[in-house]
A and B are shown apart, each in its own frame.
Chain A
Amino acid sequence: MLQETTFLAPTSWYVILSATLFIMGMAGVLIRRNAILIFMSVELMLNSANLAFVAFARSFMDITGQVFVFFVITVAAAEVAVGLALIVAIFRTKQSIDIDELNTMEG
């Protein structure tokens, strides 16, 4: 028989972790110049929101938060597909994915 867990971390711990991940992701987007790394940071932000959703869902004993996470994962997958395709397209025309070099249009 499985041992029941006696210790459940309080929701606030999860929320603090998710906020930390979120800020790391945000900092990554703002600091990094490589499109792929920006992209990974965005994924980190989405997943930090997922973690917060799951933690809140547990504290409310409400499944909606977890269902939301499924949808977010799906959306993130679609975003990855489109984003990588766009990165490939820009690499083919410019031979670079440094976003500082995306300056064909100015004004």
Chain B
Amino acid sequence: MAKANMTPTKQPMPEQDPMVRRNNLKEVALGYTEEMAVEEATRCIGCKNKPCVEGCPVLVDIPAFIELVKERKFKEAYLTIVATNSLPAVCGRVCPQETQCEAKCVRGAKGEPVAIGRLERFCADWYMSNIEEEFEKPVSNGHKVAVIGAGPAGLTCAGDLAKLGYQVTMFEAFHLAGGVLMYGIPEFRLPKAIVQKEIKGLIQLGVEIKTNMVAGKVATIDELFEQGYEAIFLGTGAGLPMFMNIPGENYNGVFSANEYLTRVNLMKCYADGFDTPIFKAKKVAVVGGGNVAMDAARCAQRMGADEVYIVYRRSEVELPARVEEVHHAKEEGIIFKLLCNPVKVNADEKGWVKSMDCIEMELGEPDASGRRRPIPKPGSDFTIDVDAVIMALGTNPNPLLRSVTPALQTNKWGCIVADEKTGLTSIEGVYAGGDAVTGAATVILAMGAGKDAAAAMDKYIQSKAK
């Protein structure tokens, strides 16, 4: 093996200049060139015990694919990744690598870990632009299955089952498949063309995607079984937005992040010729500290706001967002008001938001989640002038389907109760995975759950067929 490159830092990622990109929706991180990728790959020392792989929820064989990148065998590298991860172009971009694969990389002990995510993205992008892939429709095995919800969990489950010969029908409530990848995560972080390309692959595999179909409304679980589907996967996500229940939350100018991001991403309110309106705000407060909050804040800036605040009740280290997103947001001029919590939204006499009252917080003892509990500091109230407030406080599973499916067991947060290994729910033949089971989590975990459920559904149908 060639001598490892002991540079302590990652090969830098080419990026759009922050002052330019804050005014456009094009992708922020531009991706490695072949040379950069090979150079970064030489930082991997090919550990025998593969600690990095343990950090990846779908066990991508990281040293193996990086070795192939070193050898410039980009196609083979890509094929190594997709052996366990069907959406590498997405995961390379949005996985929280710093808490997953890269957290375990030995190079991280001294300096930065190997840029596993960037290399994964490079392989996927290289493959997409150099190889014209056509999937063959697999030979049918004569069995019909239904997948509800076309987010990462559902898409992965559908793809795996289609490859095994199942006739898969997907039901998606929105007019486009993709779930959060389409309506939540913005174009500048995950170009929609990439998501659509993955979906095209599924269609080539013979998956039928029925959009505009709200399961529970057009058909219940029982009715789907009556229609001849032998097993059903629920990948309905966690789409119900939470509000704070503070005074003034219904004033004009207060939005859920879901609404705001849907108007921007799915409905393309910014693009010429598209009809969906967006609220034009000058000063925006986004409440929350996760990826959703970062996305909403950066979208608000791109929609023309002059000042955008992130208001978060804990401190910087507790921010649940990906480190890269926080970094990018800061570069773009988003103002972080940390250790600070809203208490009231104020409006003018006509009911339009004009300011938000906040209180400073300090961190006390760790709470049930293991994070230090934020406590308000008495008398520290202050007001920020804003004309819009976006609530990015998290989401819960949508109660729509479970309200018409009494046999479907859920926990007190409305999450579907499902077996950890197989995704089996309380109803025979019905499996579930992704945010619908875990509550808001990550793309890669949703995909992992879709994959496990596909294997279990196959086993179930085959054992019944015997």
Same complex origin of A and B? no
